[in-house]
């Protein structure tokens, strides 16, 4: 099964929280669905390329639930979040956006860079557990307009219970947004069950699709109330109408597109998503948990995503050197080591990592 993935020959690959392994299908699709149509047809490649982009949205819908026309490609999560926030109806007071302080900083940066008179970032402190709905209940009040939930936190591996937090937020009428960068492809997700307003994701990590292929899902019922501040011909209801005096936003999530789209990243990403679909997220998660439990027997699967974030403290240098001796792919942030076993990792490799940590 692991032959679907192409990993470096150098050593065991534990970096799926950063860049997921290349898939064989993704590598093939880059050539078959991007290079070859261009080489053989020049500008006549566009019908093939646009079909590819629709296939990308369709594959996401099959993987994550929701309708194909609720998905729109974006270069990354930050771009999608920025477009979404700027599309919201105007308010007399700044929109208060609640996040956990352990959320990936880029999402907070998006809010901080927007006009202060219109948007305000509110943070749950780092020392309050992100996986506890009761903590969120303390901070979600009638003054909070938007709750942005990080499904799996990149620096802690903590898994937040999206449905429970969403129910709390909805009681106060807040919009609910979800960051799935570290969960899509490793944690089974069915977006319609969450009852949220928008979801943002990327294919670079567990979806094994490389950089540049981000996406956003927007609940269809909310689309009429959203007016993006940026546009381009592919955000038009009919991109090929070519009447400069008559712009109409698409009635689907494509209203969040803009100008001429990138294609190459989505060719590779489609191969990654289809690989994950063929194997099954449940299968990948089961293997991931088996490997994590070999490395850390006491890990709590109910609150941990696909990554073990190991606080090494004064042993960080020692453990890092041991892992480097294994030629393992991992990363370190301060005294914290991050290890993410995908399907390509064997039991022997997981045991070798365990021996480095103990």
Question: What does the pLDDT read at residue 199?
Answer: 98
Q: Pull the structure tokens for residue 270.
A: 């489609």
Within this chain, do residues 126 and 94 fall inside the same structural domain, yes or no?
A: yes
Within this chain, do residues 289 and 247 fall inside the same structural domain, yes or no?
A: no
- Is 15 within a domain? no
Q: What is the pLDDT of residues 129-173, one digit of tens each?
A: 999 999 999 999 999 999 999 999 999 999 999 999 999 999 999
- Is 263 within a domain? yes
- Is 334 within a domain? yes
Within this chain, do residues 90 and 218 fall inside the same structural domain, yes or no?
A: yes
The answer to whether 342 and 20 have CB atoms below 8 angstroms apart is: yes
- Is 25 within a domain? no
Question: What does the pLDDT read at residue 1?
Answer: 45
Long-range contacts of 185-188 (CB under 8 A, 24+ apart): 185/20, 185/63, 185/273, 185/276, 185/281, 185/284, 186/16, 186/152, 186/281, 186/284, 186/285, 186/288, 186/305, 186/306, 187/151, 187/152, 187/159, 187/281, 187/285, 187/305, 187/306, 188/281, 188/282, 188/285
The phi, psi pair for 128, rounded to 5°, reads -95, 130
Burial of 304-329, coded b for 16+ CB within 10 Å and e otherwise, reads: bbbbbbbebeeebeebbebbeebebb
Within this chain, do residues 82 and 120 fall inside the same structural domain, yes or no?
A: yes
- The helix/strand count (H/E) of the chain reads as 11, 12
Within this chain, do residues 221 and 343 fall inside the same structural domain, yes or no?
A: no
Within this chain, do residues 154 and 213 fall inside the same structural domain, yes or no?
A: yes
Question: What does the pLDDT read at residue 2?
Answer: 59
Within this chain, do residues 50 and 192 fall inside the same structural domain, yes or no?
A: yes
- Is 335 within a domain? yes
Domain of 213, CATH number, reads 3.40.640.10
Whole-angstrom distance, CA of residue 253 vs CA of residue 74: 11
Within this chain, do residues 343 and 221 fall inside the same structural domain, yes or no?
A: no
Question: What does the pLDDT read at residue 295?
Answer: 96
- Is 26 within a domain? no
Within this chain, do residues 216 and 162 fall inside the same structural domain, yes or no?
A: yes
Domain boundary (223, 244, 275) is at: 275
Question: What does the pLDDT read at residue 89?
Answer: 94
Within this chain, do residues 215 and 348 fall inside the same structural domain, yes or no?
A: no
Question: What does the pLDDT read at residue 48?
Answer: 95
Within this chain, do residues 216 and 306 fall inside the same structural domain, yes or no?
A: no
- Is 310 within a domain? yes
Question: What does the pLDDT read at residue 284?
Answer: 97
Q: Print the domain residue range for 345.
A: 280-357
The answer to whether 325 and 10 have CB atoms below 8 angstroms apart is: no
Question: What does the pLDDT read at residue 9?
Answer: 85
pLDDT < 50 positions in the chain: 1
Q: Pull the structure tokens for residue 342.
A: 């995908």
| Count of structural domains, the chain | 2
Domain of 306, CATH number, reads 3.90.1150
Question: What does the pLDDT read at residue 317?
Answer: 93
């Amino acid at each position: 099964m692991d032959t679907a993935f192409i990993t470096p020959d150098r050593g065991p690959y534990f970096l799926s929280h950063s860049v997921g392994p290349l898939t064989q299908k993704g590598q093939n699709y880059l050539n078959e669905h991007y290079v070859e149509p261009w080489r053989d047809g020049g500008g006549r490649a566009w019908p093939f390329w646009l079909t590819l982009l629709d296939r990308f949205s369709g594959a996401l819908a099959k993987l994550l639930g929701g309708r194909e026309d609720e998905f729109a490609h974006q270069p990354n999560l930050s771009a999608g979040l920025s477009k979404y926030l700027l599309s919201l109806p105007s308010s007399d007071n700044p929109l208060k956006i609640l996040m956990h302080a352990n959320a990936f900083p880029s999402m907070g940066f998006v809010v901080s860079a927007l006009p202060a008179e219109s948007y305000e970032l509110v943070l749950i402190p780092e020392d309050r557990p992100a996986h506890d709905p009761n903590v969120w209940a303390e901070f979600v009040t009638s003054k909070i307009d938007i709750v942005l939930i990080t499904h799996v936190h990149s620096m802690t591996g903590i898994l937040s219970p999206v449905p429970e937090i969403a129910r709390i937020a909805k009681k106060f009428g807040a919009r609910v947004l979800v960051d799935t960068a570290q969960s899509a492809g490793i944690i089974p997700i069915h977006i319609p069950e969450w009852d949220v307003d928008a979801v943002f994701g990327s294919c670079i990590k567990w979806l094994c699709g490389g950089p540049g292929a981000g996406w956003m899902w927007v609940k269809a019922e909310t689309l009429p109330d959203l007016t993006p501040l940026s546009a381009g011909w592919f955000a038009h209801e009919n991109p090929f109408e070519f009447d400069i005096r008559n712009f109409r936003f698409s009635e689907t999530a494509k209203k969040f597109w803009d100008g001429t789209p990138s294609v190459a990243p989505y060719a590779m990403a489609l191969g990654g998503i289809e690989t994950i679909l063929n194997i099954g997220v449940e299968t990948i998660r089961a293997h991931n948990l088996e490997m994590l439990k070999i490395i850390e027997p006491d890990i709590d699967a109910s609150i941990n995503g696909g990554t073990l974030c190991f606080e090494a403290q004064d042993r960080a240098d020692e453990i890092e050197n041991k892992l480097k001796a294994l030629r393992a792919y991992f990363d370190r942030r301060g005294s914290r080591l991050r290890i993410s076993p995908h399907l390509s990792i064997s039991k022997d490799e997981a045991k070798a990592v365990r021996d480095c940590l103990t």
